[in-house]
Amino acid sequence: MYTRLSELAKGKNFPLTNGLLRMPRLVMKFGGTSVANVERIRNVARHVKREVEAGYDVAVVVSAMAGKTNELVGWVKEANSLYDAKEYDVVVASGEQVTSGLLAIALQEMGVNARSWQGWQIPIVTSDAHGTARIVEIDGSGILESFEKKKEVAVVSGFQGVHQETRRITTLGRGGSDTSAVALAAAIGAERCDIYTDVDGVYTTDPRIVPKAQRLDKVSYEEMLEMASLGAKVLQVRSVELAMMHRVPTYVRSSFDDPADPKLGTLICDEEDIMEQQVVTGIAYSRDEAQITLRNVADKPGVAASIFVPLADANINVDMIIQVVSDDTTTTDITFTVPSAEYERACAVLNAHKSEIEFRDLQGATDVVKVSAIGVGMRSHAGVAARAFKALADKGINIRAITTSEIKFSVLIDSAYTELAVRTLHSLYGLDKA
């Protein structure tokens, strides 16, 4: 029986199986650095064995070994730079298949009953957007049956699924194993989902920039979603969306902890499960930004649509938008940001529509960075952003653009000031203190 994502969490309501108390279920996910070689896979197996011995029915979701996906992508491009996306998915999905088989073998060697599962075997049914597919349905009955009848650890290849109509392998995009893990946790009614990475949790900012950055014990789903979308690389955005939608408690933990004595890491949970909230929880930054300014655009109805509809049709995401009307009110300047990788293509699209948009000049910059402050405490505190603007001004940092929402604000600045801005805001909101 297939389970739609809107129904996934219902399994949590059935603690009894054939009149017997159901074993608690746990999903563990391990990223590429955690399974980079056979020795590290054995270390992962020790983490899994610990949870099995603690009484859990365990499903493990694994990524490809570190660097393997890049190698596979390189082979595809070498074979044909204009490759078929369907065959691309066949090739790149093989990295996770290797890891799942190796981990199952390592667990068996340790005396743990285990078997590998590929996305199509479960199945994880997805859309047909090859390379960036989205999960539509999951059938967890096979894994649940293996828990009940065989006491078998399910080792699942992350990042992949199957399109039901064509029966073709699909992949979920970079970071898709996180999404696989959270969706599977919801599908089988898991108590929680543990995401194991090469860091021991979510920090107030990048410790490489701010040595005083603190590990957070808990972060709300909303805050983590903003952090993930604004540059924090700990979790994939879609996985956080699913965790929030289906209320899956999700831990970020380190696979390099001693399997016999691991740390708890950071819990991603409901806002009401956090006793004390800081006004600002974390500072994120993204170097993946480019700024485009259209000068002397005719100020008339429909001008914004003439700019942003062609960009949307080209699948180019636009973030910050600023419009400044001239003194004579007949023209306007419009500034916005796009991903840096899309800068050249965005400029080409705009120039192709120059006669419709009626702009005089197109100016751009790629040496910019977006710095953001995130915190649910902003909802109930005034002047949070104003303090940041003053602090940045005092450091001589010019702000090119600003965007705000209920729980975050972002500023676009020159990339040369990235570290200074992050450190300034981290100290301003008291995040240096344990």
155-180 confidence digits (pLDDT tens): 999 999 999 999 999 999 888 999 99
Residues with Cβ within 8 Å of residue 63, at least 6 apart in sequence: 29, 30, 31, 32, 34, 35, 95, 96, 99, 158, 159, 177
pLDDT of residue 377: 86
Q: What percent of the chain has a predicted confidence (pLDDT) above 90?
A: 76
Banded model confidence at residue 324, pLDDT cuts 50, 70, 90: confident
| Share of the chain residues as helix, strand and coil, in percent rounded to the nearest 5 | 40, 25, 35
Last residue of a domain, one of 272, 288, 306: 272
Contact 110, 259 (CB under 8 A): no
At 232, list the tokens.
Answer: 């924090």
Number of CB atoms found within 10 A of residue 142's CB: 13
Task: Single out the residue of 290, 280, 286, 252 nearest to residue 268, CA to CA.
Answer: 252
Rg (CA), the chain: 24
52 lies in the same domain as 75: yes
**Does residue 16 sit in the same domain as residue 56?**
yes
Domain at 248, CATH number: 3.40.1160.10
Burial class of residue 37 in the structure, from the number of CB atoms within 10 Å of its CB (0-12 exposed, 13-18 middle, 19+ buried): exposed
**Domain assignment of residue 431, given as a range:** 277-434
Asked if 110 and 128 touch (Cβ cutoff 8 Å), the reply is no
Task: Give the residue among 158, 197, 200, 162 at the shortest CA–CA distance from 179.
Answer: 158
Last residue of a domain, one of 238, 272, 306: 272
Residue type at position 364: G
**Whether pLDDT at 152 is above 80:** yes
DSSP codes of every residue in 181-228? HHHHHHHTT-SEEEEEESSSS-BSS-TTT-TT--B-SEEEHHHHHHHH
In this prediction, residue 7 carries a pLDDT of: 44
State the average pLDDT over residues 26-31: 97
Instruction: Report the C-alpha gap between 266 and 402 in whole angstroms.
Output: 30
How many separate domains does the chain show?
2
**Is 309 found in the same domain as 261?**
no
Mark whether 389 and 346 lie in a shared domain. yes
**What's the pLDDT score for residue 426?**
96
Residue 246 scores a pLDDT above 90: yes
pLDDT single digits (tens) 188-207: 999 999 999 988 999 999 99
